[in-house]
């Protein structure tokens, strides 16, 4: 059931911005596979899936830093070396186990039919973002894809959200961000943009309701119920 948390709903949302990891696609299995590959190569103890899920959201370099820090904080040189191995492995195993969440594809189709502009906005770097979207046949739904390295700053900074509104010549109030974590809600609040959060994503032990989004969605299809 959709939970409305803001009297301003339904939202006009001429532009809908959607997070990738934990919102559109369950990428945790393959991110965990690449992370544990590196840990194994370094002779480190492997990390549990639940732990790695909590590390997702700030880009893969921060994911790898936090995974290495379970035993010992890495130097930047050590992290650089680990990232070379991570990137090679992850790039070859992007979609071994990752899957689109239920309701996502049909919702994107419906939003596109309604004439809304769709944006994929993620902290994942472009070299991984684009192939994932293309191989899952999602890329063509988006009029704009902003990866973690597309702009000088990424979420939770408001810059990607502000850039999107300017790109489509729309006021912030006519945009809606859909995400799954504090990065998303903090970016939205900083940009004064409405935000909805899905309950199934990567938000650690913190329930999304505690992030005070404008709406909470149990399934992406419920997004259609909150749009004007």
**Which residues belong to the active site?**
19
Sort strands 175-179 and 144-146 into parallel, antiparallel or unpaired: unpaired
Q: Which helix (H) or strand (E) holds 195?
A: strand 195-198
Contacts of 75 (CB under 8 A, 6+ apart): none
Q: Which of 55, 58, 19 is nearest to 38 (CA)?
A: 55
Rounded Cα gap, residues 152 and 142, in angstroms: 21
Rounded Cα gap, residues 56 and 41, in angstroms: 21
Torsion angle in degrees (nearest 10) through CA of 27, 186, 190, 157: -50
Sort strands 99-100 and 25-26 into parallel, antiparallel or unpaired: antiparallel
């Amino acid at each position: 059931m959709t939970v409305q948390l803001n009297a301003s709903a339904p939202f006009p949302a001429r532009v809908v911005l959607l997070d990738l990891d934990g919102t559109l696609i369950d990428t945790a299995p393959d991110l965990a596979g690449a992370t544990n590959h590196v840990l194994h190569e370094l002779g480190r103890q492997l990390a549990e899936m639940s732990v790695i899920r909590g590390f997702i959201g700030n880009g893969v370099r921060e994911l790898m830093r936090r995974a290495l820090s379970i035993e010992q904080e890495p130097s930047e040189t050590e992290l650089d070396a680990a990232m070379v191995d991570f990137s090679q492995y992850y790039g070859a195993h992007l979609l071994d186990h990752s899957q689109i969440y239920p309701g996502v594809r049909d919702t994107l189709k419906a939003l596109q039919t309604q004439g809304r502009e769709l944006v994929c906005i993620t902290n994942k770097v472009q070299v991984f973002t684009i192939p994932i979207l293309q191989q899952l046949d999602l890329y063509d739904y988006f009029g704009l894809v902003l990866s973690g390295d597309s702009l000088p700053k990424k979420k939770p900074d408001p810059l990607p959200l502000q850039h999107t509104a300017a790109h489509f010549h729309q006021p912030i109030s006519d945009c809606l961000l859909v995400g799954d974590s504090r990065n998303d809600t903090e970016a939205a609040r900083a940009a004064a943009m409405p935000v909805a959060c899905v309950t199934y994503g990567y938000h650690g032990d913190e329930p999304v309701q505690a992030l005070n989004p404008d709406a909470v969605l149990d399934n992406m299809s419920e997004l259609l119920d909150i749009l004007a």
